[in-house]
Amino acid sequence: MLTTVKPRQEKHGLAGGQTAQPARADWTIDQGWKNYLPEEHAVWKTLFERQSRLLPGRACDAFVEGMKNLPIGAEQIPDFRALSEVLMQRTGWQVVAVPGLVPDEVFFEHLAHRRFPAGHFIRKPHELDYLEEPDVFHDVFGHVPMLMNPAIADYIQAYGEGGLRAQKLGVLDKLARVYWYTVEFGLVQQADGLRIYGAGIASSFTETVFALEDASPNRIAFDLERVMRTRYRIDDFQDTFFVIDSLDQLLDLSRIDFAPLYGRVQDQPDHAPGTVLASDCVITRGTGRYAAERLAKAG
Ligand code: HBI
Ligand code: FE
């Protein structure tokens, strides 16, 4: 049982969304909050209550702080207008509704202008732990609380600007890995222990425990070039999690000119997701048990 979001092609052709392009060129739609059905709010409630029991002591301080100051509760799917009002005051961000995955350049354009595209739909009761595309729970519960943190708010805007540049340079796959191993599946070392800041973990009932407590995955200190060369899993638990010392480290990242880096990594081979390098600063070397079981199952 695991919650992962729909495979985003590492090749980054058009995003894998099943949805046809909506009327607007920027792929936004009205959230239509009043049209949500009671059973949709009920799925939100189940997911919200499950994660809220799990996250204390596991989610980073910024996540807890952000969630506390946002109109996000158990009873209902949040109204994006109410979220945007608070976010705009705090970090200049807003949440816009989209049908699902949108093309890369549309996604980057929104991020570059501090608009977070959030899936308006919610998963079905039978797919609580497996998801085709980022739904409102992944995007709003997982990502939005972190947008209240100034460092993350600046970092994700910089990622949007960088994505538009990386696309033109043909190195989007390298940059997407940086996003994946930070914004989606990042861990941060706090004084009181390792904590989650990645939305893909924070919104996942099963990966929340796996990422912090399972002996199977590697946990390695974040290194930009190393991450740019490391492939990721798009439909299963990560084999390796990368750890930053503080969210401000991401701010430093967003000030680096990636162009020379792209040049260096372009000709170097990629690393498989579970690799541990002699040059790595290893926080915990995983047993690889989960990956071995996956391999055995695949036969
Ligand atoms: N679209 N709605 C949405 N959400 C995403 O997270 C997203 C996307 N399109 C492209 C994409 N992510 C990734 O391919 C980029 O981060 C590279
Ligand atoms: Fe996400």
- For ligand 1, which residues put their CB under 6 angstroms from it? 8, 12, 15, 98, 101-102, 104, 107, 117, 134, 176, 179
Q: Side-chain half-sphere of 87: how many Cα atoms within 13 Å? A: 26
193: exposed, middle or buried (Cβ count in 10 Å: 0-12, 13-18, 19+): exposed
Which one of 102, 155, 183 would you pick to mutate in the ligand 1 pocket, going by the greatest count of ligand atoms within 8 A of its CB? 102
Which one of 8, 27, 28 would you pick to mutate in the ligand 1 pocket, going by the greatest count of ligand atoms within 8 A of its CB? 8
Whether residue 2 is predicted with pLDDT greater than 90 in this model: the reply is: no
Distance from Cα 185 to the centre of ligand 1, integer Å: 14
Closest by CA to 102, choosing from 177, 163, 28, 180, is 28
What whole-number distance in Å separates Cα of residue 221 and Cα of residue 245? 8
Question: pLDDT, tens digit, for every residue of 59-83?
Answer: 999 999 999 999 999 999 999 999 9
Question: pLDDT, tens digit, for every residue of 113-168?
Answer: 999 999 999 999 999 987 878 999 999 999 999 999 999 999 999 999 999 999 99
Distance from Cα 134 to the centre of ligand 1, integer Å: 9
Residue range 179-205: mean pLDDT, rounded: 97
What whole-number distance in Å separates Cα of residue 221 and Cα of residue 227? 10
Distances 295 to 166, 286, 291, 292 between C-alpha atoms, Å:
33, 16, 6, 5
CB 208 within 8 A of CB 58: yes
Would you state the pLDDT for residue 1?
36
Q: Among the atoms of ligand 1, which is closest to the Cα of residue 175?
A: 17
Would you state the pLDDT for residue 15?
44
Q: What CATH number labels 33-298? A: 1.10.800.10
Distance from Cα 172 to the centre of ligand 1, integer Å: 12
CB 57 within 8 A of CB 87: no
If one counts every other C-beta atom within 10 angstroms of the C-beta of residue 114, the result is: 18
Distance from Cα 199 to the centre of ligand 2, integer Å: 6
What whole-number distance in Å separates Cα of residue 284 and Cα of residue 93? 35
Say what percent of the chain tops pLDDT 90. 86
Distance from Cα 10 to the centre of ligand 2, integer Å: 14
Whether residue 190 is predicted with pLDDT greater than 80 in this model: the reply is: yes
Q: Among the atoms of ligand 1, which is closest to the Cα of residue 9?
A: 14
Would you state the pLDDT for residue 10?
39
Confidence class for position 22, pLDDT limits 50, 70, 90: confident
The token duo for 223 is: 């290194």
Confidence class for position 16, pLDDT limits 50, 70, 90: very low
If one counts every other C-beta atom within 10 angstroms of the C-beta of residue 187, the result is: 25
Q: Which amino acid residue places its CA nearest to atom 17 of ligand 1?
A: 176
Would you state the pLDDT for residue 14?
41
* Share of the chain residues as helix, strand and coil, in percent rounded to the nearest 5: 45, 10, 40
Using DSSP, state whether 155 is helix, strand or coil: helix
Mean pLDDT (the chain) is: 92
Would you state the pLDDT for residue 13?
35
Distance from Cα 81 to the centre of ligand 1, integer Å: 21
Put simply, whether the predicted model's pTM sits higher than 0.75 gets the answer yes
